[in-house]
């Protein structure tokens, strides 16, 4: 990902008009703080967006000057890749402001360098860090998805054995349909928790094929349908949610105090 | 002593510092970054009207500390958790010997903890022996992310560390407080990973491991370890101030901690002077779980549970007889100085 050239917009896709601000914002919204599993737009990390014809400059700021360089790198490359793939964009310049490694990250990401080239001492590669965080986020998102299914009346045995083929995400505008017992029973649940869960389940490689089990424990192992064992995994997933929310509380408070940003 | 709905609550602040971050004491850029980072944590969680200016924050001194903790802060006792950082600060940030000056003035009010660094080898062992000999320390605060020359940290489960933990067993130093919490610039985030506590706690069942700052941003990893090991405790410094500006988040987190770690293994700490007990203790004491949270987690945050967290659990680890302390504090130096004796007399009469 990080070796991509920043100027990936295909010339054939370019339109003549200026780049649409709302479209840029929509692209930025797809970039997450990998630790907090929330969009950088929602978290108000994006400071300014300048559009000059096909040239887009995005400046962002993090809650602290010492936020993990690996996380900052993921967000910076995410911004670069998302915005540069937008039709009509000729170039993207990403600027990380007020950060201890702001200069290295800004230069490295805009020049299309590797994280490992810029930060030679980093213990883990950026992709490895990303994978770990995605797995944590996948497990945390599972909590809401499973709760929605339980509210719809499914039991531990039914939920534990669900596969991708049991889910119809396109059932309605806001609802998904889930079929169990070889099609004998079908329930509908709110679309969002399942959709968001599947996004991370796909990304982590857990749910790729139609026959893949939908849910797994923290380590990615299939769920035990025994009610007690199932409940233990639910509680563990709730803990994963609390961990992310707790860390988000720390980051939000620091962001508010340093940058005057209040999310409430 | 704190009073909650007419009930006395004895408070042992499990995590206090008396530091020196004056410019004269700073010998490395890391020292300035470190105190600036502490100050950011201070302002992020402190009510605006309670925030300190940077000059005061660099060095507040003994007198202010005693007033902030005991006169204004409701704390009855405090546990010093030294942080050496001698690569950053000429005389250290707050060493055992520095803390000892105040602790020995009011020995009935302070518990003085020591520290070790396995990278110091034989000299470090001698240092630990001296601290035991001189101050009869019962605990050590450990900073696994501390820089030392080219080294950017050490692991609690390393061979060198085990040598020091064995020494702690020999010397009767039972309480091990590794700092495992939010990133502090310029220290390496990964050096705060809680994973190394697991092996150490299993290998040394006779020691207690108080994980300071409950492992954030790895609360989940910490909870897993604490569930498996009965000798693993959670120090609430950093988590406690949520009670002030994010009370609902604090309650949820307490639900998790009570569920996984348990009411007998949590210890309050203000992390003074990052935060001050005068507003922090009331915020924590006023925290409540909703009925849904109580049902969901199957736990209570009752007055009895709060008493454990605020003092009884720490008292157990440090052999403190709370009733005897209340009696002693009817007429000790601090109570005489600040006119607190009556509070303890009333408490004894209850």
Nearest chain A CA: its distance from B274 CA (Å): 14
Contacts of A249 in chain B (CB under 8 A): 242, 246, 249
- Whether chain A has a CB inside 8 Å of the CB on B246: the answer is yes
Q: Mean pLDDT of all residues in chain B?
A: 95
Partners of B242 on chain A (C-beta within 8 Å) are 246, 249
Is B184 in contact with B136 (CB distance < 8 Å)? no
Q: What is the mean pLDDT of residues A84-97?
A: 96
pLDDT at A17: 66
pLDDT at B56 over 70: yes
Best of A128, A143, A253, A260 to substitute, by most chain B Cβ atoms within 10 angstroms, is: A253
Burial of B32 (0-12, 13-18, 19+ CB in 10 A): middle
Whether the CB of A179 is below 8 Å from some CB of chain B: the reply is no
Mean pLDDT score, A108-132: 89
How far apart are alpha carbons B86 and B92 in whole angstroms? 5
Average pLDDT over chain A, rounded to an integer: 91
* 3-class SS of residue B223: helix
Helix (H) or strand (E) holding B110: strand B110-112
> Does this model's pTM top 0.95?
no
Tens-digit pLDDT profile for residues A10-36: 444 444 567 999 999 999 999 999 999
* Least confident window among A23-32, A64-73, B293-302: A64-73
**Per-residue model confidence as pLDDT tens digits over A164-185:** 999 998 887 899 999 997 888 9
pLDDT, position A244: 96
Q: Is the predicted pLDDT of residue B348 greater than 80, yes or no?
A: no
What mean pLDDT do residues A213-231 have?
Answer: 97
- Is it the case that residue A127 has pLDDT exceeding 80? yes
pLDDT score for A172:
79
pLDDT band (50, 70, 90) for residue A209: very high
Distance between CA B310 and CA B8 in Å, rounded?
A: 12
Domains contained in chain A, CATH given: 11-123 (3.30.300.130), 127-216+231-240 (no CATH)
What pLDDT, on the 0 to 100 scale, is given for residue A140?
98
ipTM, 2 dp: 0.93
pLDDT digits (tens, 9 = 90+) for B324-342: 999 999 999 999 999 999 9
Task: Indicate whether A3 pLDDT > 50.
Answer: no
Instruction: Kindly indicate the confidence band of residue B291, based on its pLDDT and cuts at 50, 70 and 90.
Output: very high
Euclidean distance between CA atoms A28 and A39, whole angstroms: 8
Beta carbons within 10 angstroms of residue A176's beta carbon: 23
Chain B CB contacts of A253 under 8 Å are 44-45, 245-246
Task: Pick the closest to residue B344 from A38, B334, B328 (CA basis).
Answer: B328
Cβ <8 Å between A246 and B44: no
Degrees (nearest 5) of the Cα angle B248, B2, B292? 25
Query: Mean per-residue pLDDT for B228-232?
Result: 95
- Does A246 contact B185 at a Cβ distance shorter than 8 Å? no
| Beta carbons of A240 and B220 less than 8 Å apart | yes
Kindly write down the DSSP assignment for every residue of B285-341, as one continuous string. Answer: HT----HHHHHHHT----HHHHHIIIIIHHHHHTT--HHHHHHHGGGSHHHHHHT-H
Closest residue by Cα to residue B221 from B194, B202, B203, B239:
B194
B238 at A interface, C-beta within 8 A: yes
Contact status of B50 with chain A (Cβ, < 8 Å): no
Which of A124, A239, A244, A248 to substitute to test the interface with B, most B CBs within 10 Å?
A: A239
Quote the pLDDT of residue A58.
98
Beta bridge partners of B44: none
Query: What's residue A1's pLDDT?
Result: 38
Tell me which residue in B43, B189, B246 faces A249 most closely, judged by beta carbons: B246
Residues 6+ apart with CB under 8 A from B239: A246, B213, B214, B216, B250, B253, B257
The tokens 């089990």 sit on which residue?
A213
Per-residue pLDDT, B349: 67
Searching chain A, which residue's CA lies closest to the CA of residue B34?
A66
Place of tokens 């969901």: B296
If you measure CA to CA, which chain A residue comes closest to B187? A66
What does the alpha-carbon distance between residue A64 and residue B186 come to, in Å, rounded to a whole number?
Answer: 12
pLDDT of A187 > 70? The answer is: yes
> Residue A191 above 70 pLDDT?
yes
Residue B205 CB: number of other CB atoms within 10 A? Answer: 10
B40–A253: do the CB atoms touch at under 8 Å?
Answer: no
Whether residue B190 has pLDDT greater than 80: no
Does pLDDT of A71 surpass 70? yes
Q: Give the gap in angstroms from C-alpha A30 to the nearest C-alpha of chain B.
A: 23
Q: pLDDT category, A47, cuts 50, 70, 90?
A: very high
**Cα A168 from chain centroid?**
22
Burial class (CB in 10 A: 0-12, 13-18, 19+), B79: buried
Place of tokens 């001189």: B134
Q: How many whole angstroms separate alpha carbon A22 and alpha carbon A29?
A: 10
- Residue B186 clears pLDDT 80, i.e. is over it: no
- Can you tell me the distance from the alpha carbon of A61 to that of A76, in angstroms, rounded to the nearest whole number? 10
CA nearest A99 in B: which residue?
B185
- d(C-alpha B259, C-alpha B299), whole Å: 6
Count of Cβ atoms closer than 10 Å to residue B114 Cβ: 28
What are B141's strand-pairing partners? B177
Report pLDDT for A13. 45
Residue B114 pLDDT > 80, yes or no?
yes
pLDDT, mean of residues B200-213:
97
pLDDT, residue B185, reads 79
């Amino acid at each position: 990902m990080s070796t991509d050239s920043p100027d990936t917009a295909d010339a054939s896709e370019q339109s003549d008009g200026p780049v649409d601000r709302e479209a840029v914002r929509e692209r930025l919204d797809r970039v997450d703080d990998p630790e907090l599993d929330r969009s950088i737009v929602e978290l108000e990390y994006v400071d300014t967006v300048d559009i000059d014809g096909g040239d887009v400059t995005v400046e962002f700021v993090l809650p602290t000057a010492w936020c993990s360089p690996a996380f900052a790198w993921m967000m910076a490359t995410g911004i670069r890749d998302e915005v540069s793939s937008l039709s009509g964009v000729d170039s993207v310049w990403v600027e990380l402001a007020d950060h201890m490694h702001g200069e290295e990250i800004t230069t490295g990401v805009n020049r299309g360098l590797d994280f490992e080239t810029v930060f030679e001492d980093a213990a883990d590669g950026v992709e490895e860090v990303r994978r770990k965080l995605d797995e944590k986020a996948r497990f945390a998102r599972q909590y809401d998805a499973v709760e929605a299914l339980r509210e719809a009346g499914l039991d531990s045995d039914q939920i534990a054995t669900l596969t991708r083929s049991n889910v119809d995400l396109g059932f309605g505008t806001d609802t998904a349909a889930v079929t169990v017992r070889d099609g004998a029973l079908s329930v509908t649940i709110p679309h969002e928790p399942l959709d968001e869960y599947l996004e991370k389940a796909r990304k982590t490689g857990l749910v790729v094929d139609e026959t893949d089990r939908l849910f797994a424990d923290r380590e990615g192992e299939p769920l035990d349908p025994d009610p007690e064992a199932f409940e233990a995994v639910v509680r563990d997933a709730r803990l994963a949610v609390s961990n992310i929310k707790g860390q988000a509380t720390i980051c939000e408070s620091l962001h508010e105090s340093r940058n005057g940003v209040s999310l409430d | 002593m704190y009073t909650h709905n007419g009930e006395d609550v004895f408070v042992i602040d499990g995590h206090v510092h008396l530091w020196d971050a004056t410019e004269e004491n700073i010998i490395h850029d890391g020292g300035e970054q470190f105190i600036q980072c502490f100050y950011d944590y201070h302002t992020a969680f402190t009510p605006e009207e309670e925030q300190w200016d940077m000059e005061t924050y660099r060095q507040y001194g003994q007198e202010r500390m005693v007033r902030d903790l005991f006169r204004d802060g409701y704390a009855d006792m405090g546990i010093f958790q030294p942080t050496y950082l001698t690569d950053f600060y000429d005389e250290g940030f707050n060493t055992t010997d520095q803390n000892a000056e105040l602790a020995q003035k009011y020995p009935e009010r302070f518990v003085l903890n020591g520290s070790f660094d396995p990278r110091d080898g034989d000299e470090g062992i001698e240092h630990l022996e001296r601290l035991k000999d001189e101050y009869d320390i019962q605990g050590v605060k450990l900073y696994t992310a501390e820089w030392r020359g080219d080294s950017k940290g050490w692991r609690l489960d390393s061979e060198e560390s085990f040598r020091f933990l064995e020494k702690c067993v020999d010397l009767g130093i039972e309480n091990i407080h590794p700092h495992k919490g939010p990133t502090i610039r310029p220290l390496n985030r990964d050096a705060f990973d809680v994973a190394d506590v697991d092996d150490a706690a299993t290998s040394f069942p006779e020691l207690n491991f108080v994980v300071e700052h409950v492992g954030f941003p790895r609360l989940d990893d910490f909870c897993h370890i604490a569930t498996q090991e009965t000798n693993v405790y959670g120090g609430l410094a950093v988590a406690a101030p949520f009670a002030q500006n994010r009370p609902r988040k604090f309650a949820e987190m307490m639900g998790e901690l009570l569920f996984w770690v348990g009411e007998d293994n949590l210890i309050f700490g203000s992390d003074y002077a990052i935060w001050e007990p005068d507003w922090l203790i009331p915020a924590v004491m006023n925290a409540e779980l909703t009925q849904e949270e109580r049902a969901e987690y199957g736990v209570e945050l009752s007055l009895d549970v709060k008493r454990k967290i605020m003092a009884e659990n720490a008292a157990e680890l440090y052999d403190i007889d709370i009733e005897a302390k209340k009696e002693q504090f009817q007429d000790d130096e601090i109570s005489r100085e600040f006119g607190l004796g009556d509070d303890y007399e009333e408490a004894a009469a209850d």
